[in-house]
């Protein structure tokens, strides 16, 4: 016997479920963009008064300190270091990944 198309209401329901699934995928992929939090790595300078712990920094040449920000274990912060700060969108913060040469 031949295949008959599904009834219209079942085709509509299947199409609607597919659209909803695809929309959830798009929303998840763009969540960081829609957060308003920057998505790019920024140059930063460690606070000149830094002595220990997680450093505060001048992000991207700003005039005011922000942070403190965590840093990778492989990097030991030092006052006035020029570093790379990478955003962690899910936490709405930056992580210092190391010194710029």
Contacts of 65 (CB under 8 A, 6+ apart): 47, 56, 57, 58
Is 94 buried (19+), middle (13-18) or exposed (0-12) by CB count in 10 A?
buried
Tokens of 21: 């699934």
Residue 44 confidence (pLDDT) = 97
Q: What percent of the chain has pLDDT over 70?
A: 96
pLDDT tens digits, residue range 26-38?
A: 988 777 677 777 7
Full-model pTM: 0.66
């Amino acid at each position: 016997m031949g295949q008959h198309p599904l009834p219209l209401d079942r085709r509509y329901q299947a199409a609607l479920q597919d659209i909803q699934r695809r929309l959830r995928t798009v929303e998840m992929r763009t969540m960081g963009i829609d957060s308003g939090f920057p998505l790019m790595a920024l140059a930063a300078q460690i606070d000149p008064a830094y002595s220990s712990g997680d450093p505060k920094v001048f992000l991207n040449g700003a005039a005011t300190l922000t942070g403190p920000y965590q840093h990778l274990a492989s990097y030991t912060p030092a006052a006035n270091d020029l570093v790379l700060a990478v955003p962690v969108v899910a936490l709405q913060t930056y992580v210092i990944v190391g010194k710029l040469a």
